[in-house]
Amino acid sequence: MAPPPRAKARQRFEAAGETAPSIEAETDTAHRPEFVIVDHELSPSQIRNLERATGAQVLDRTGIILEIFHRHANTREAKLQVEMARLKYVAPRLRESSGGGERRQGPGAGESNLDLDRRKIRDRLAELKEQLEAVQRDSDHRRSARRDQLRVALVGYTNAGKSSLMRALTGSQVLVEDKLFATLDTTVRILQPETRPRVLVSDTVGFIKQLPHDLVASFRSTLTEALEASLLLYVVDASDPTYEAQLEVSRSVLREIGADVVPSRLVLNKMDRVDAAGRAALVEKHPDAIPLSAHSAGDVSALRDTIIAFFEASMVEAVLLLPYAKQGLIGEVYESARILSEEYDENGRVLKLRGLPGAIARLRRSLAAS
């Protein structure tokens, strides 16, 4: 009697000197599976061996994540990033068709079809890299313009409720869906009710364990929003029993880009789904965390107060003279600092301000240069 497909698959791996991965596939004597999904990253040879043994299409963890990212990418930057990651994943997994070893005639003569496909991928990657660098230069300019503003970044595991919290804090109509990687693009909105100086809140791409390295590299520009923030809010789904492992994944990814040095607070979200005993245990275990539900107006208001208090602690007071000939700069002053008092003398408007040291220094430079 012939060995079952799983045994055949294991024999192929052992013959190749490789470790057979754990396989989860629904099958019975009457039907063979269409797909075999493996919760690990597989080498090209492992995928080929599994496909021969099972007669099904094999998808590994990286392939599934890339497909989800591909479906959810909306902006040009996200689409470029995901396409680059997909091509880097596909390139080493290309294989010859039955006639693929034949040499081409005419343009590209001497190349096999496989060689040609790989060259096309290399050319496309070079093109995508150039396009992405142009898009990221524009993003860098926008971030540079916000450098002296108060910025909060919501970071955390995918589906932890960051977008719901973003909507509650800013009143914006950002996408909120109960699915993995619903948000792939960094969204920046103003904290509401608006403060002076105003606070910008950004919602970033969610993380997941064993996130493919090429995706981390591709989304490095997007994650820079977290690196350049003044405050990180690590949002976790407190109702998930694995929230601590998810939190460590988020911290690990941000550690890769150096964002672990940014001041941060832990936000225990979805507390409305946790019973009284669970809430008490969470508060005892994380006394400095902020427990809340993004659907509770009172909880969101308290978080807003916490954010404002964090920035207030870093602010200083200063006096600025705005000459009558430079009154056009008053809008920039109101955006960058809070006006405590203003008086007029023969030289102009005398403003007593409260704001971040960097913002006040920038205002002084603007006055000196104009």
SS3 of 126-160: the string is: HHHHHHHHHHHHHHHHHHHHCCCCEEEEEEEECCC
Tell me how far apart the alpha carbons of residues 23 and 49 are, in angstroms, rounded to a whole number. 13
What is the pTM (predicted TM-score) of this model? Answer: 0.70
Tell me how far apart the alpha carbons of residues 287 and 329 are, in angstroms, rounded to a whole number. 44
Tell me how far apart the alpha carbons of residues 229 and 151 are, in angstroms, rounded to a whole number. 5
Tell me how far apart the alpha carbons of residues 271 and 292 are, in angstroms, rounded to a whole number. 6
- pLDDT mean over 340-356: 92
Looking at residue 226, what is its pLDDT?
81
Question: Would you place residue 27 in the very low, low, confident or very high pLDDT band (cuts 50, 70, 90)?
Answer: very low
Which has the minimum average pLDDT: 91-95, 216-220, 247-251, 348-352? 216-220
- pLDDT mean over 88-95: 82
The token pair that represents 355 in the structure block = 């704001």
Question: Would you place residue 10 in the very low, low, confident or very high pLDDT band (cuts 50, 70, 90)?
Answer: low
The architecture that CATH gives domain 149-312 is 3-Layer(aba) Sandwich (3.40)
Looking at residue 126, what is its pLDDT?
92
Tell me how far apart the alpha carbons of residues 58 and 214 are, in angstroms, rounded to a whole number. 20
Residue 104's identity, in one-letter code, is R
Specify which residues 87 forms β-bridges with.
none
Q: pLDDT digits over 150-205, tens only?
A: 899 999 988 899 888 999 999 876 544 444 444 445 678 899 998 888 899 988 77
Which range in 74-78, 266-270, 344-348 is most confidently predicted, on average pLDDT? Answer: 266-270
Q: Which helix (H) or strand (E) holds 75?
A: none
Rounded to the nearest 10 degrees, how much is the dihedral formed by the CA atoms of 126, 128, 130, 136? -140
- For the chain, percent of residues with pLDDT exceeding 90: 32
3-state secondary structure 80-115: HHHHHHHHHHHHHHCCCCCCCCCECCCCCCCCEHHH
Tell me how far apart the alpha carbons of residues 300 and 354 are, in angstroms, rounded to a whole number. 25
Q: Which residues contact 112 (CB under 8 A, 6 or more apart)?
A: 96, 100, 101, 102, 103, 104
What average pLDDT does the chain have? 81
Looking at residue 26, what is its pLDDT?
46
Q: Do 233 and 264 touch, CB atoms closer than 8 A?
A: yes
Q: Do 329 and 119 touch, CB atoms closer than 8 A?
A: no
Query: What is the domain partition of the chain in residue ranges?
Result: 5-55, 149-312, 316-369
Looking at residue 143, what is its pLDDT?
57
Residue 319's identity, in one-letter code, is V
Which has the minimum average pLDDT: 67-76, 90-99, 125-134, 322-331? 90-99
If one compares 108 and 31, the residue with the highest pLDDT of the two is 31
Q: Do 85 and 64 touch, CB atoms closer than 8 A?
A: no
Rounded to the nearest 10 degrees, how much is the dihedral formed by the CA atoms of 314, 317, 318, 324? 110
The closest alpha carbon to 165, from 174, 157, 231, belongs to: 174
Question: Which long-range contacts does 54-61 make (Cβ < 8 Å, 24+ apart)?
Answer: 54/5, 54/9, 54/23, 54/25, 55/5, 56/25, 56/32, 59/35, 61/210
Looking at residue 99, what is its pLDDT?
41
Distance (Å) of CA 125 to CA 88, 116, 120: 8, 14, 9
- pLDDT mean over 121-138: 87
